[in-house]
Structure 1
Amino acid sequence: MTSTAADNDLGSEYEALLSFMYLSPVGLVRSDMDGVVDMMNPMAAQLLMPLVKGGGLSNILDALTAIAPELRNMVSGFTGERGAVCENYRLFIRPAKTQPVVLSCSLIKVGENLLMTVLTDISRQVVAERRVQQTESWLAGICTNINDFAFFTLDEHGQVEAWNSSIERLAGFSPDDVVGKRLDLFYGLDQERGGRLLQQVALARDDGWHMEECWCETKSGRRFWGQVLVCVLREDAGEVSGYSVVIRDTSERKVTTDNLERLLTTDHLTGARNRAHFIQVAEAEIARAKRHARPLSLVMLDADHFKAINDTAGHKAGDEVLKHLVTEAKGVLRPSDVVGRLGGEEFALLLPQTLPQEAVAVAERLRALVEHAPVEFDGQSLRATISLGVASLSERNDNLDDLLEAADRALYEAKRSGRNRVCVVGIEEVVNETIPQDETSKR
């Protein structure tokens, strides 16, 4: 073969490769190991558009930092000559005013300083997975002949209406032990029995069903980790006639499940919910609040002068500051509240059933705690402060996008006006007069 023919063949192969890349139904980005992009196909540009401000994308890792800051650490910590840095890592992106988009991201080192990023839109798959999970919970109620299940019904007052053998197989209770008793008979003594039962029944009435996991006990006192599903039973006219209950012993799966859940939902550094899980929980809580006309507030917070802390005391000291912020936040929150890491040093607090003035009080309490509690690290006593922005559900802010945007504006105002303070925007849109204490959600 002549050199001209060989060149023509190589040219044809190169053109075919370019055609494949640009016509591929998945996003493809080629960059160096620092993330500097030198080639990107149209699908990647389309998928990443919501993350790009100003219209350009020159560094793929910088673009992804806002939603998945851990990816840069994965790349820098990869020691192999080539191979998968991560596979099918889920990225939750929220283009404004649209349904959320979920991307599957794989990072592959293909050369000494060459990184390929593969992006696939899996939004429909994620929706389907959620539906399957709900269906599996309902199907669990059918399996009454398995030793680790108990199935029974409650009357409209929440008392056990009938006994069956599955109760004895799982927990050892006879008919006289349970009939006419309340569901909290099965709860462990440390599970705040009365409050937990009332909350479960109330949530089931609101949503049609409710499932949670807690420590349960058998008649002999043996503790087991139980999954408790409560479903509403209704008459033809729609009135509640009782509840069906499924209790499952999931002790053997608890350790594995806990580890898996922590990996999927928790930020590995701080222990806060990761961005993806925070968004999922926030969307569900906002839908619930709107459906039942309940208040809900959101607080965004950011560590002040965080770059200076990293530059002067080191990145490990900065990590300790972030962990400290989350620890203090968890100390002022209720079990139903959620703290999430949105990216970098930016966090958010989700406060269901919380009025604007209550959210401001929570934010101010957290601000003061952080200001007066130094972070001890490596013989140093580090002083840190935070700025916070508060927004609440209203006609203007009626979805997660709007709430995050409003809270971000308030956070910017707190930064602009001197830092180490709490700012709130649009509080008059939510409440126009002082609400008496006995009518608030009593945080």
Structure 2
Amino acid sequence: MHLLLYLIFFALLDKSGKLLAATFILLSQHQNQYALIGSSMQDVNLTYSEIEEELSVARRRVVELESKRASFSDAEINFLGAQCHIINSISWKNGIFNVPAFGILVVTKHRVITDVNSGLLEMLGYDKNDLIGNSVEMLHVNSDSFLKFGERYWSATAKQRIVSTEWPLKRKCGEVVWVKISGSALDAMDIGRGVVWVLFDVTDQKKAEIALGESEDSFRSFFESINDIAWVVSNDGKIVQVNHSVQEILGFSLQDILNMNVIDIHPENVRHEAVTIFADMLKGKRETCPLSLLKKDGSALPAETRIWKGRWKGQDCIFGISRDLTLEQEALQRFERLFNSNPAPMALSIMPSMKLIDVNNAFVEITRYQRDEVIGKTSDELNLFTSHDKYCDLLKILSKDGQIKNSEAQIYDKDGNVHEGIFYGEIIESQGQKFYLSVMVDITERKQIETSLQKLKNKYKNLIENSPIGIFESTPNGKYLAANPSLARIYGYDSAEDLINRVSSIESDIYVNESERTQTTDQLKNCCLYGLEQRRKRKDGTIAWVSLFMRSVRDKFGNINSYEGFVSDITDRKRAENELKESEEKFRLIVETSNQGIVAVNQYFEITYSNKIIQKLAGYSEKELHELHIDSIFLSCGEESFSRTIINATERSIPKLECRIRNKDGECFWVLFSSSPISRLDNSSGGAFIMITDISEQKNLELNLLMLATKDGLTGVSNRHHFMEISGALLSSATRYNTEFSVAIFDIDNFKMVNDTWGHSAGDMVLKKICTLATAEFRSSDIIGRLGGEEFAISMPETSLENAAAAVERFRTIVESTIFEYDEIPINITISSGVAACSKHTKAIDCLLKSADNFLYKAKRHGRNQTVTSINAKQETDYPDRWPLNSLKRRSS
């Protein structure tokens, strides 16, 4: 009887030396028969304790055989030497068992853990003491997992040598780890001795498989759920798969389109171009195909197609997504209409270069540039902004906030004229490209809104006219008996016959809400239906709005035989009503938030609308304003009424006029207004819109500026510049028409002593009172001016020298007799004057004033408080103290 044990170790290493697979085979030779005790460490796991026991038995047997070595044959001796070498070379405990590349788990028939290696401890995060002696259930995710694993694989180890599967286990921290687990009974003949399991961590691989499965599921869900048209095309151009959108959008069935060539899905006139474009796309020269697609009814669908290479069901293919651009084109057309018809200057620039790609008509009108002069250039290159720094500031705001709001700036037009504007701007995106849309509100000259209002009315003028009418007859249980082609077209069917044959139940195939038909037929029991608006399903699944006129047809006994009626497609009207409502809301928002007063009047100029701004300006409530005529609050401009002014301004295309408004309290203030007529559909007058801007502050500012420019700030009389300008004009007029003209210069005697004695405040009081007396004494046509300090001049048109001298002398006596009181202290003031008159040789006001100034000097030199002219200067060598007033007459005032 011979017992030989063979432990054979096979290892498979990769190029880096990493252990890929290990195989242990323990053979027992007993009576020339070999039994397999262990196998692959990847497919069959060994337990340390069982193998250790077998090795001990083998060692003892070898010792026994050594003692009988003398009786063995040469072959038996060689075999025995090989066995000794193998047994002596194995260091199981410190070697293979503790290789960290995989985990080893030894479990009894009662599922109790008896041994583990370091690889398992590291893999699951346990200490050895945590596991030895405990049920293997603790490594399973839950009890169900433990029971299922036992049911499937424990008994299987007795039926087959190797059991292998993937299973989720639980780390000590609670985290789930997926393992590749292979097991084998310690004794193939006796499962009761336990099982050894070898575990490899395949969590990353499992996650990748799960992610891949989810990715494939997501892609299929995406493919079927997207609203865009999705294609799968073979490399030879055959369509092998499409999503549901092909039927909904293009009208083709799956049988229609499969195996068609992708080029044939384009209109015939662009197929040659499509071949070239798709070739360029496959080469990476183009990203999209802008060509339209062909619908089943022969019409063209505007679309944008993108393609990429991939694999479908294991075969190389080309994926394509075609996006329906119908709504975008409609939106673009609406945008272009609004863009070009907007009365505010607008410009569209491409980002980030900020080069202009389009401008509207208002932009051309205000800047005087033609489109081809600005397209492709930036505002900076055109020197459009008067300040380069302001232009840079606007770009910074746009970069930071993504928009520009209420920013004031100045721009030049082509002729160099400056326009004030308030700028608004926003970044918009289309097909992956960013654009900057800027709008300028011209506050230099407000634009009329007549064109935009007229277009707004015309836009909705014919929305519900000439709608096609569908005619039908149906049974009470919901089957069409008859229908006309218009009804078929409304519901999207090819013909009336197609509608009748395909619609088996009106309730489910036509009505969006099936319960609506029951409600409709219930109403027909008592009356006919007129203009009932409901939704209907078209053949392609889209929804149509209809207006229903319907009645019941009864037999002679009053029983309902059928229903007949008319259907009008009001889908466009419904859409238009929504757009109109949105437009009216936008218009109302613009009007109500405008910083201008807005008034609408009818053809009789009765106020029919007013916004809050004009209500506040006029001080009336909305109701009170709507009971007034426009002439009640707007004052007449000249000799004509305000309503007549509006008519003339409209006929003459006058953009803006100034007028005054009288508010409810009777106060008047200045406004700037512009008007635009409102026309009816029959082109008759429907009244007018009036835009009002309060310019009271501006008017007051103009008066203040005029005062500052012409009046002396202390005394209120003309300043030197204004006096010289007016006096020069009066002198020129007198010379031209040969009329008399005189001037006088006077100053206050010993004025310095007043300032030195009582201070400059006293001096200012004297100057102001002198001017008050002069204004009261001299005529309104006389010009009084302060030349400087205490020196004043008076221009007296149509006045001779004698009368001028008399007037000045009277004024001197008034000053002399007036008590100037400062802090209850009386101050006596006198003046000295010089008077001169023009002659035909007088050319300039300066010369005439110089003559008067010479006489003033003589009056000062000869005692002050007197008036000197060329008359008494020649007649008297000693100047009189007083002018002989008795010989002169007072001038007419």
Is the pair's TM-score, using the shorter chain for normalization, greater than 0.5? no
Higher helix share: 1
TM-score calculated relative to the size of structure 1: 0.42
TM-score calculated relative to the size of structure 2: 0.22
Instruction: Mark the structure with the bigger radius of gyration.
Output: 2
